[in-house]
Amino acid sequence: MNQQNQAFFTPFTLPNGVELKNRIIMAPMTNFSSNPDGIVTDAEVDYYARRSGGVSMVITACTNVTPNGKGFHGEFAGDSDEMIPSLKRIATAIKEQGAKAILQIFHGGRMCPPELVPNGEIVSASDVPAQRGGVSTEEPDVKPRALTEAEIEEIIHAFGETTRRAVEAGYDGVEIHGANGYLIQQFFSPHSNRREDQYGGSLEKRMTFPLAIVDEVKKVVNEHAPADFIVGYRFSPEEPESPGITMDDTLKLVDTLADKGLDYLHVSLGEFFSTPRRGVEDLNKTRIEYLLETINQRVPLIGVGSIYSAEDARKAFETGVPLLALGRELIIDPDWVQKVAEGKEAEIITEIDKSKQKELVIPDPLWNAIINTPGWFPGVS
């Protein structure tokens, strides 16, 4: 092994005492490959197994905690006890390869396609349509309905129930998905949250829903899980909308989350070294630098974003980030970690090979999404 890469492979101990065998994690990525009823498919199980051999931890694609939270076609469900055997198949496939299995739990909110949710009714913090990415972006007459306080409490409880299912299905932990414009972020965002009750208004009130979910998940973990069960939280640093989440808003949220007894925080970034767009003094300093300063070693931060080569990873680790997640990279080359460990980093493949779907063990729905979305993956134009 190249000595410069030795740091990737030192073990890392999470706050709850769990030792990760190395510093490389598989990032959560939607794969569109479950059955319409939310049951996982053989192709999906094989896809995870193929990518779990080198990394220390695999964070799954998101699973919905309620029927009206399903955000994608082909998403596997976690909203009822009937789904526990299905959920268990993925956990088992990951763990058999030697990685920790983390279930990402979420609610899509206003980003849910109406055809996937009961009565076609999409819900959010307020009745504000999405400006990008959601159905309401293209169809102005499709507006989300603001959730009632009773419904909000039901969803908070549902996050706890899906956490219990993760425990029963054999997962090593859960990741609360507070990023990428989904419901938890919709409550934190001044764009999507125009409420005037306890869940909206000031920055602190907009944190109420995310923090209530953290508390509920931790309560369920204390009641149902072994002491080494992992709880993480993923967040997006900024939104382009105005009003929208600024870097300063996120630093305040992260400062609060860092004291919540979580096992890690996970930033969602397309580019690891990206810089803030607004809300902080120095727009040349990277978001990762700001986050590490704010966290100040109270909780581990997982960095992510276009880390294709071992050199990219070395530069990322030089920032002081303790853990690094690879997403597209592990779809393109499932043996990325093993190649680095064996001193074969020159053999890492960094562009998708369109002739090798079968060898890469990529399910048809994900493959079709990759090759029909120019610019998403290197090698697809």
pLDDT tens-digit map of 154-196:
999 999 999 999 999 999 999 999 999 999 999 999 999 999 9
Q: What is the mean pLDDT of residues 142-153?
A: 96
Q: What is the mean pLDDT of residues 287-294?
A: 98
Mode of pairing for the β-strands spanning 12-13 and 19-20: antiparallel
Confidence of residue 32 (pLDDT cuts 50, 70, 90): very high
Give the residue from 162, 14, 12, 3 showing the smallest Cα distance to 82. 162
Confidence of residue 136 (pLDDT cuts 50, 70, 90): low
Q: What is the per-residue pLDDT for 3?
A: 81
- Residue 197 tokens read as 């009750």
Residue 182 annotated as catalytic: yes
Tell me if 61 sits within 8 A of 75, measured CB to CB.
Answer: yes
Q: What is the mean pLDDT of residues 266-295?
A: 97
Omega within 30 of 0 (cis) for the link into 243: yes
pLDDT tens-digit map of 35-49:
999 999 999 999 999
> Residue-wise over 324-341: b if at least 16 C-beta within 10 A, else e?
bbbbbbbbbbbbbbebbb
- Residue 353 tokens read as 């090979």
Q: What is the mean pLDDT of residues 259-285?
A: 97
* pLDDT at 215 exceeding the cut of 80: yes
pLDDT tens-digit map of 317-359:
999 999 999 999 999 999 999 999 999 999 999 999 999 999 9
* pLDDT at 138 exceeding the cut of 80: no
Which residue of the set 47, 182, 199, 308 is catalytic? 182
pLDDT tens-digit map of 96-131:
999 999 999 999 999 999 999 999 999 999 999 998
Confidence of residue 54 (pLDDT cuts 50, 70, 90): very high
Q: What is the mean pLDDT of residues 345-374?
A: 96
C-alpha 275: how far from chain center: 20
What is the rounded radius of gyration, in angstroms, for the C-alpha atoms of the chain? Answer: 20
Tell me if 20 sits within 8 A of 12, measured CB to CB.
Answer: yes
Percent of the chain with pLDDT over 90: 94
Residue 118 main-chain phi, psi, to 5 deg? -55, 130
Q: Given the structure tokens 């970034």, which residue do they identify?
A: 269
pLDDT tens-digit map of 304-320:
999 999 999 999 999 99
Confidence of residue 140 (pLDDT cuts 50, 70, 90): low
Q: Using CA atoms, how far apart are residues 274 and 304, in angstroms rounded to an integer? A: 11
How much helix, strand and coil, in percent to the nearest 5, is found in the chain? Answer: 40, 15, 45
Domains detected in the chain:
3-371 (3.20.20.70)
